[in-house]
């Protein structure tokens, strides 16, 4: 199984650094889509990822169109995470090639994505007291559930 995490226009370098560290420790590729709210040389990004950046397989694409072109849905199973999803993240189907796609910290995924891929929107259950979970926590929750269901994909 090939598993990738994609972040759409992430804004907070510490979140992206934490996610990069998670990806390094699980052999999961990281895709950054669109405009970033920080520089890839940002000191907070580097500190959050510690000295693990060399172990991250990182792809940067400039637009959603470029993402869809480089990672087409006839090859990859897309799983978009959104508070608007009607299915739980535990229902993400296991396939040979999965990409979990997360929106940014302030506005989530674009409405166009939510409309186009409504059948592939998944959510993390939570009460109505908060707007959303922290991005890096959300990625960890979803990523480790998929890995668990795949017997941790050779991790030890």
Distance CA 81, CA 94 (A): 15
Please count the other Cβ atoms lying within 10 Å of the Cβ belonging to residue 86: 11
81 is in an annotated binding site: yes
* Residue length of the chain: 156
22 is in an annotated binding site: no
124 is in an annotated binding site: yes
132 is in an annotated binding site: yes
Distance CA 60, CA 62 (A): 7
Binding site as annotated, residues: 81, 103, 124, 132
Binding site as annotated, residues for S-adenosyl-L-methionine: 81, 103, 124, 132
């Amino acid at each position: 199984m090939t598993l990738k995490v994609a972040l759409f226009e992430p804004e907070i370098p510490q979140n992206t650094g934490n996610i990069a560290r998670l990806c390094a420790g699980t052999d999961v590729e990281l895709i950054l889509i669109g405009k970033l709210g920080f520089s890839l040389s940002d000191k907070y990004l580097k500190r959050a990822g510690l000295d693990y950046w060399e172990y991250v397989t990182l792809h940067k694409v400039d637009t959603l169109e470029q993402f869809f072109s480089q990672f087409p849905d006839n090859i990859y199973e897309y799983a978009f995470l959104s508070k608007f999803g009607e299915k739980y993240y535990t229902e993400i189907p296991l396939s040979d090639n999965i990409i979990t796609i997360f929106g940014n910290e302030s506005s989530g995924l674009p409405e166009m994505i939510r409309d186009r891929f409504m059948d592939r929107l998944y959510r993390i259950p939570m009460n109505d007291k908060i707007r959303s979970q922290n991005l890096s926590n959300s990625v960890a929750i979803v990523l480790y559930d998929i890995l668990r269901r795949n017997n941790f994909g050779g991790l030890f």
